[in-house]
Structure 1
């Protein structure tokens, strides 16, 4: 997130020179307005996630999905202000976590910086919601959201982005030269790996892999899926452009690269699913996921790559979403309702690798292979931390207090069992 000027080659690796952080920037009206608008756009993505997840889920679970989406944002806002923001951007404790700015009184630069960062935290937290739709208890989902917002996301965020506030490369990953412009790894892979841990611990929906039962788990409303997709695409302009943290001539390039990657991701998913699907028809869910995969892939590098590279990144991401989701859900039998693991986790990995593969040479001051090594280290660190700690926490919670509803409640639908909303009121629209 944010471009830092002055790339030097040290000990065979890329390293970003310390410069002025956001704390030192002059808050002129154009920058303030720009970041407020971008924050609002990223906030609107919450509605996009909600619509997409509701459309992918059963009608009898849709209200539960919606309530989870607003609840995880409320939890994120509270926990990120109290502890998460300080862990992510406070004075660094040996490059591992921040140790100041907890429950801070916010004003000026800090207020707008906090607001924008909060929206990213909310995005990371909500990714898990759709993956475990239809069988997770609402009460334990609240705990999951708090853990993501207060611990998992901020700590990795400090490793990769800790210096954005004060201009010093405080996190251990960023000090090595790890780069992630707007969060392919920091936001999306973190959310995707937490989702992977959650679906493994909770298990698949009842009879999900029973012969002949698959038809019961098809998306309930493709219209809602596509409404959500358009909202997410719209919000992504703020997600990526806002990560520049200033108004300059690079903004049009960032936005064009973003929309190209999303478009070509959707196209490659459309034709690849059309060619490989047993029905020999384009799969509506895969097309939507292809667009999202392309957007996730370009998020980490939209400032540093050309338009042609953006197209290639999107094309590959679209194929990854189709092939990856089939492998995970059909071969590994990991039941991910919205393909969050593939779209966010794996495409986030692809975006981070693509940063090293396609970064313009003008931004490189050393061998590309060494930069790729740093990016791979960041990917590995993200997986070990995000998946590892969330799996341990969820496993402990599941053993002491089941994360999953009963089979009877699952069959009745979570609208009824978790919120006492009866079937006549279950209509999505």
Structure 2
């Protein structure tokens, strides 16, 4: 029995589609696992009386994020919906469905980022309502502008500067937007009770360093799915992305080690700062450029977090604004700098566009968050009562503590 050329072509196409679907599914699972990292990072940082709340928030936020992104957000960003029969949806081995899952894990990172900033004093259901609108509307607006060409921003950049805004894996689109949204939420909530004593700032020590470290490790491992699998096809996979992610992570570790003076909290957040910053240009930079990018991000996090905690009234519990907001913005700009061929990068990127695109992301995040959190704060309030905050979110909201001792 002879095999025709069309049969061979069809078999190859089927194999390619199924391989790409499996590749992206594994990426989605790796990024989904990162949400456990967010949870344990927060559990290890907050005080014991707020540990249950940290765990519940991350999982509840994911559930609300999935609904918001399925019914609204994905349509806003990509003009696609799932109101077709299952046979239609499953065409091409269901690649488009797995693509949704992968991009959902990115979208759900927004409330996971915010959660760390607003910990220990936020009301539960008002925050879930904010999650619905930030994931359903605010985040997808900028996501669609950058990754789908919506509203003509990318076309304008290309016409004016010759290049579009480059953000391969979301330094600005995901982390920057999430971090700047978190800043607004943190400011609305105000400082935790007891932070100012005798006119001086008092910092609450992390409750569980092993949990904090576990969260950081889970995030570091998952990040290789976040970055490498942003190629979305096996054909597009790049060892350069993996290498640059590794070097930026290492740069963040070493910078935080030196700047943070051996503090375990800083050392475990340093690699995360480096990984946030390299997302945008991980497919363009030379590994040495990625190392420098991650090192600057690690130092930025240490110095900014220290300044916020000791000199301002911005009570960002996990330092998510410096880690994701500032390091994400730095990553967007760094892609324009270290992506240049003169610095060993692959080229095809403009520093001016990277600055303007980063500012656009910050603007969308700030305006969207001001509307969402401002309205919720006005209508229902965002903060726990003083008594509930004193007792802890675990007992006040969930009626149980993390450790029930006889």
Same fold (TM > 0.5):
yes
Indicate yes or no: 2:46 matched with 1:63: no
Distance in 2 between the 1:351 and 1:26 partners? 36
Residue in structure 2 matched with residue 277 of structure 1 by the alignment: none
Distance in 2 between the 1:25 and 1:141 partners? 44
2:347 to 340, 343, 364: 364
More helix by share: 2
2:197 counterpart SS class: coil
CA positional deviation for 1:101: 2.4
Q: Normalization by structure 1: what TM-score?
A: 0.84
Given that residues 17 and 95 in structure 2 are in contact (C-alpha distance below 8 angstroms), is that contact kept between their aligned partners in structure 1? Answer: no
Deviation by residue 1:321-376 (Cα, 9 ceiling, x = unmatched): 011112233222200110000000000011000010011427435xx6xx212111
Residue in structure 1 matched with residue 7 of structure 2 by the alignment: none
Unaligned stretches of 5+ in structure 1?
1-23, 91-99, 163-168, 275-281
Runs of 4 or more, structure 1, over 3 Å off, are: 24-27, 102-106, 211-216, 362-365
2:234 counterpart SS class: coil
CA positional deviation for 1:26: 8.4
CA positional deviation for 1:184: 0.2
Indicate yes or no: 2:13 matched with 1:49: no
2:78 to 89, 96, 111: 89
Deviation by residue 1:110-164 (Cα, 9 ceiling, x = unmatched): 11211111111111221101111000000111111101110111111011111xx
CA positional deviation for 1:238: 0.5
Indicate yes or no: 2:26 matched with 1:34: no
1:385 to 364, 382, 394: 364
Given that residues 194 and 202 in structure 2 are in contact (C-alpha distance below 8 angstroms), is that contact kept between their aligned partners in structure 1? Answer: no
2:62 to 52, 65, 73: 73
Residue in structure 2 matched with residue 270 of structure 1 by the alignment: 257
* RMSD over equivalenced CA pairs, Å: 2.2
Indicate yes or no: 2:398 matched with 1:419: yes
Unaligned stretches of 5+ in structure 2?
1-12, 158-163
CA positional deviation for 1:422: 4.5
Map 1:138-217 to 2 at 5 A. Answer: 138-162=124-148, 169-175=149-155, 176=157, 177-211=164-198, 217=204
CA positional deviation for 1:381: 1.3
Given that residues 175 and 328 in structure 2 are in contact (C-alpha distance below 8 angstroms), is that contact kept between their aligned partners in structure 1? Answer: yes
Distance in 2 between the 1:171 and 1:25 partners? 35
Distance in 2 between the 1:25 and 1:215 partners? 60
CA positional deviation for 1:425: 2.5
Distance in 2 between the 1:47 and 1:209 partners? 32
Distance in 2 between the 1:213 and 1:331 partners? 9
Larger of the two Rg values belongs to structure: 2
Given that residues 250 and 303 in structure 1 are in contact (C-alpha distance below 8 angstroms), is that contact kept between their aligned partners in structure 2? Answer: no
CA positional deviation for 1:249: 7.2
Indicate yes or no: 2:287 matched with 1:307: yes
Aligned positions, number = 378
Indicate yes or no: 2:388 matched with 1:409: yes
